[in-house]
């Protein structure tokens, strides 16, 4: 994989796996049902609370209306049958008790009728404080002496302490006991109607058939008490709704409804003992079913979908990494087995095609390489033969032997078709022999300077690769005013945590033409098309041995300079495998830049 491919893979955004999408979908399908059930449960609870509150409020309204009706009857009695009646006025003017009692006989009977029909009326009392005159009418037949005395005492206190007469019903708290009282007065004769709120609260179940307890309050002040008011404070109130609210007290829950009565508030409280446990049980059961179905779905999908999918993905990743002999596993469901079989058949076809292509391209490359190496420059050998003839004519036998030996060594090295790579030391030795051949008969002998780090002599390069650059320098870099100087340096460098071999060949010639230099660094195909096959073929052969990471840099630094940057340890990465750019020429014509 190239550096760009690695970067693309690294920068590629991570996507959510399809298996997690499926599990999320299963879970998301459960969520609306759970939410819907919880909402329906809440709605059911609110309906139950609302119905109970309505029923309790209706009973409280009947009770309050009954009390209000009795208060109206008592008011009519006081101001129609007492204050406006002549007998009451005569009784007020009478100076004797017996005479006053006779005159109030009609009012006495009417008061008895009132207390008998109005259960909330505790007592009707006629009294004249000046003559110590009292006629009580008590509502309960089985009344106690203590109650009679309490009501009479309340009537006396009200008559003594009140500042207003005939103004309406007033609330009195006497000995921490609440009373509603209304009175009328002629001269010093009072008619008083008492309603004992504590007695009313304690008798609502018997007298009015209410199943809930009733208390009276004025504002936030509790006038009467019940079980739920013991230790009551405002923080016990919660869940206030339109028309009712709840109170938690004494580890119990009460449903409270209220009704305004005159200047008071009547509150009805009942134990909210409705058992909604079955709703919560169903909720937990539903949640358990949802989680259970999620688990069952996961187990089912893991066996039928996730496992074969993971196996298929893993096999593809292994194959992508280079293990082309691996095959996708079977053992899932029918669909995945069909995908695996199709994928494996495709791999088999590709493997056969790859082998066939490899063999055909290898044979073609071998033939091409052999042909390229045979393309030895004719004028090079003609010059060598011409120099040998000149040396022989001048009788320089030893020089002739030396040139013939160098030429034969060069031919043997150039025509060796069995080696795809040679040691750098061997290549540099042949470069030295080549410069010696080129220097025969020349005014200035070419110079070769070598700087090779220890261990680099055994580094593998394609044969005739540096020799190709050297011959290019001999052809275009020779100077008339001085000798040709060629320098070769080789060493190892570390870049980005990786080790690379760095080989540089430079001369003191005129350098590359600017147009050719631009194409050598950026457009090697056009270099090949323009006939500069030697340089192009050298780069192709290097990349055949070391892969596409092998780089070549061309520049002008007081002459032509060629640099190779080769990854260490990548030898043979693409060797023997066809490359996109076919190898051009390694022989004589390769030197025509």
Return the SS3 of 257. Answer: strand
pLDDT per residue as tens digits for the range 524-561: 778 777 767 777 777 877 877 787 788 889 999 888 89
Q: What is the mean pLDDT of residues 75-92?
A: 89
Going 124 to 126 to 132 to 133, the CA torsion angle's sign is: negative
Tokens, residue 294: 């999620």
Going by C-alpha positions, the residue among 583, 580, 547 that lies closest to residue 373 is 583
Q: How confident is the model at residue 165 (pLDDT cuts 50, 70, 90)?
A: low
Query: Could you tell me if 507 and 556 are in contact, meaning their C-beta atoms sit under 8 angstroms apart?
Result: no
For the chain, give the mean pLDDT: 78
Contacts with 565 (C-beta within 8 Å, 6 or more apart), sequence order:
493, 500, 501, 502, 550, 551, 552, 553
* pLDDT > 60? residue 6: no
Least confident interval from 64-78, 90-104, 369-383: 369-383
Q: How confident is the model at residue 576 (pLDDT cuts 50, 70, 90)?
A: very low
Q: How confident is the model at residue 189 (pLDDT cuts 50, 70, 90)?
A: confident
Model pLDDT, residue 583: 37
* pLDDT > 70? residue 497: yes
Tokens, residue 449: 């300077």
Half-sphere exposure at residue 556, Cβ-oriented, CA atoms within 13 angstroms: 12
Model pLDDT, residue 487: 92
Selected from 3.40.50.2000, 3.40.640.10, 3.30.565.10, 3.30.70.250, the CATH number assigned to the domain covering 375-591 reads 3.30.565.10
> What residue spans in the chain does CATH classification 3.30.565.10 cover?
375-591
Query: Could you tell me if 210 and 201 are in contact, meaning their C-beta atoms sit under 8 angstroms apart?
Result: no
Query: Could you tell me if 567 and 498 are in contact, meaning their C-beta atoms sit under 8 angstroms apart?
Result: yes
Task: Give the residue with greater pLDDT, 227 vs 40.
Answer: 227
Backbone angles phi, psi at 165, to 5 degrees: -125, 145
* pLDDT > 90? residue 489: yes
Model pLDDT, residue 2: 43
* pLDDT > 90? residue 490: yes
Task: Give the residue with greater pLDDT, 473 vs 500.
Answer: 500
Contacts with 519 (C-beta within 8 Å, 6 or more apart), sequence order:
526, 527, 530
Task: Give the residue with greater pLDDT, 581 vs 67.
Answer: 67
Going by C-alpha positions, the residue among 346, 291, 304 that lies closest to residue 324 is 346
Tokens, residue 76: 């009519």
Task: Give the residue with greater pLDDT, 472 vs 268.
Answer: 268
- CA–CA dist 413, 83 (Å, integer): 150
pLDDT per residue as tens digits for the range 194-211: 999 998 888 888 888 888
Q: How confident is the model at residue 61 (pLDDT cuts 50, 70, 90)?
A: very high
Query: Could you tell me if 479 and 432 are in contact, meaning their C-beta atoms sit under 8 angstroms apart?
Result: no
Model pLDDT, residue 584: 36
Least confident interval from 35-49, 211-225, 479-493: 35-49
- CA–CA dist 217, 213 (Å, integer): 13
Q: What is the DSSP string of 278-308?
A: HHHHHHHHHHHHHHHHHHHHHHHHIIIIIHH
Going by C-alpha positions, the residue among 280, 212, 276 that lies closest to residue 244 is 212
Task: Give the residue with greater pLDDT, 29 vs 456.
Answer: 456
Task: Give the residue with greater pLDDT, 30 vs 169.
Answer: 169
Q: What is the mean pLDDT of residues 163-173?
A: 75
- CA–CA dist 159, 187 (Å, integer): 13
Query: Could you tell me if 232 and 222 are in contact, meaning their C-beta atoms sit under 8 angstroms apart?
Result: yes
- Residue whose pair of structure tokens reads 């179940």 in the numeric block: 205
Kindly report the CA angle at 18 between 12 and 23, in degrees rounded to 5?
135
Model pLDDT, residue 178: 92
Least confident interval from 8-12, 139-143, 353-357, 419-423: 8-12
Model pLDDT, residue 588: 37
Model pLDDT, residue 261: 87
Going 412 to 417 to 422 to 428, the CA torsion angle's sign is: positive
Q: What is the DSSP string of 400-443?
A: HHHHHHHHHHHHHHHT--S-S-EEHHHHHHHHHHHHHHHHTT-S
Q: What is the mean pLDDT of residues 255-281?
A: 79
Q: What is the mean pLDDT of residues 496-521?
A: 87
Q: What is the mean pLDDT of residues 322-335?
A: 70
Kindly report the CA angle at 14 between 8 and 16, in degrees rounded to 5?
150
Task: Give the residue with greater pLDDT, 249 vs 309.
Answer: 249
Model pLDDT, residue 279: 60
Model pLDDT, residue 193: 92
Q: Which of 55-59, 515-519, 524-528, 575-579 has the highest mean pLDDT?
A: 55-59
Instruction: Say if pTM beats, i.e. exceeds, 0.75.
Output: no
Q: How confident is the model at residue 252 (pLDDT cuts 50, 70, 90)?
A: confident
Return the SS3 of 35. Answer: helix
- Residue whose pair of structure tokens reads 């009857």 in the numeric block: 73
Tokens, residue 425: 């030391």
- CA–CA dist 168, 181 (Å, integer): 8
- CA–CA dist 68, 60 (Å, integer): 12
- CA–CA dist 259, 250 (Å, integer): 24
Task: Give the residue with greater pLDDT, 180 vs 295.
Answer: 180
Q: Which of 103-117, 332-346, 417-431, 532-546 has the highest mean pLDDT?
A: 103-117
- CA–CA dist 181, 11 (Å, integer): 90
Q: How confident is the model at residue 72 (pLDDT cuts 50, 70, 90)?
A: very high
Least confident interval from 248-257, 338-347, 361-370, 502-511: 361-370
Q: Which of 36-40, 99-103, 330-334 has the highest mean pLDDT?
A: 99-103
Q: What is the mean pLDDT of residues 488-517?
A: 88
Model pLDDT, residue 543: 79
Bridge-based pairing state of the strands 551-556 and 560-567? antiparallel
Least confident interval from 105-109, 261-265, 418-422: 418-422
Task: Give the residue with greater pLDDT, 6 vs 51.
Answer: 51
Q: How confident is the model at residue 1 (pLDDT cuts 50, 70, 90)?
A: very low
| Distance separating the N- and C-terminal Cα atoms of the chain | 32
Least confident interval from 168-172, 215-219, 527-531: 527-531
Q: Which of 208-212, 476-480, 563-567 has the highest mean pLDDT?
A: 563-567
Model pLDDT, residue 580: 35
Model pLDDT, residue 571: 66
Model pLDDT, residue 163: 59
Query: Could you tell me if 226 and 213 are in contact, meaning their C-beta atoms sit under 8 angstroms apart?
Result: yes
Alpha-helical runs (H) found in 231-377: 277-301, 307-320, 334-374
């Amino acid at each position: 994989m190239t550096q760009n491919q690695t970067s693309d893979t690294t920068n590629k955004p991570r996507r959510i796996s399809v298996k997690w999408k499926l599990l999320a979908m299963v879970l998301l399908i459960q969520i609306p049902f759970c939410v819907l059930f919880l909402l329906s449960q809440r709605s059911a609870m609110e309906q139950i609370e609302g119905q109970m509150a309505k029923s309790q409020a209706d009973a409280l309204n009947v009770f309050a209306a009954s009390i209000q009706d009795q208060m109206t009857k008592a008011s009519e009695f006081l101001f129609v049958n007492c204050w406006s009646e002549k007998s009451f006025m005569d009784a007020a003017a009478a100076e004797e008790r017996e005479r006053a009692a006779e005159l109030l006989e009609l009012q006495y009977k009417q008061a008895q009728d009132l207390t008998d029909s109005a259960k909330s009326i505790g007592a009707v009392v006629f009294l004249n404080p000046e003559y110590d005159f009292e006629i009580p009418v008590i509502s309960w037949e089985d009344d106690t002496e203590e109650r009679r005395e309490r009501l009479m005492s309340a009537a006396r206190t009200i008559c003594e302490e009140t500042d207003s007469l005939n103004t309406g019903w007033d609330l009195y708290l006497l000995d921490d006991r609440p009373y509603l009282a209304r009175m009328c007065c002629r001269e010093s004769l009072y008619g008083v109607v008492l309603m004992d709120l504590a007695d009313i609260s304690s008798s609502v179940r018997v007298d009015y058939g209410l199943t809930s307890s009733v208390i009276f309050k004025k504002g936030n002040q509790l006038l009467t008490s019940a079980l739920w008011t013991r230790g009551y404070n405002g923080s016990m109130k919660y869940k206030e709704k339109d028309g009712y609210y709840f109170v938690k007290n004494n580890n119990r829950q009460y449903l409270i409804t209220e009704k305004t009565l005159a200047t008071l508030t009547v509150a009805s409280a009942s134990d909210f003992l409705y058992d909604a446990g079955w709703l919560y049980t169903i909720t937990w059961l539903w949640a358990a079913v949802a989680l259970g179905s999620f688990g069952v779905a996961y187990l089912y999908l893991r066996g039928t979908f996730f496992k074969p999918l993971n196996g298929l993905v893993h096999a593809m990743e292994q194959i992508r990494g280079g293990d082309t002999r691996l095959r996708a596993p079977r053992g899932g469901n029918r669909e995945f087995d069909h995908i695996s079989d199709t994928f494996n058949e495709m791999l088999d076809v590709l493997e056969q095609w790859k082998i066939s292509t490899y063999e055909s391209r290898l044979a073609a490359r071998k033939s091409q390489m052999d042909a390229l190496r045979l393309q030895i420059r004719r004028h090079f050998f003609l010059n060598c033969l011409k120099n040998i003839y000149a040396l022989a004519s001048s009788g320089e036998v030893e020089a002739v032997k030396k040139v013939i030996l160098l030429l034969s060594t060069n031919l043997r090295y150039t025509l060796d078709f069995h080696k795809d790579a040679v040691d750098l030391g061997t290549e540099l030795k042949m470069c030295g022999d080549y410069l010696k051949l080129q220097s025969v008969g020349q005014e200035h002998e070419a110079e070769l300077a070598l700087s090779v780090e220890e261990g680099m002599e055994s580094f593998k390069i394609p044969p005739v690769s540096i020799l190709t650059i050297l011959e290019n320098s001999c052809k275009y870099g020779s100077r008339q005013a001085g000798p040709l100087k060629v320098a070769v340096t080789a060493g190892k460098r570390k870049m980005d945590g990786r080790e690379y071999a760095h080989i540089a060949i430079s001369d003191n010639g005129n350098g590359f033409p600017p147009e050719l230099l631009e194409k050598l660094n950026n457009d090697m195909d056009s270099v090949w098309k323009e006939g500069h096959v030697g340089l192009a073929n050298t780069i192709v052969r290097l990349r055949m041995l070391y892969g596409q990471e092998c780089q070549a840099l061309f520049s002008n630094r007081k002459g032509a300079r060629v640099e190779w940057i080769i990854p260490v340890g990548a030898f043979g990465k693409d060797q023997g495998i066809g490359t996109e750019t076919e190898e051009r020429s390694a022989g004589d014509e390769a030197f025509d830049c």
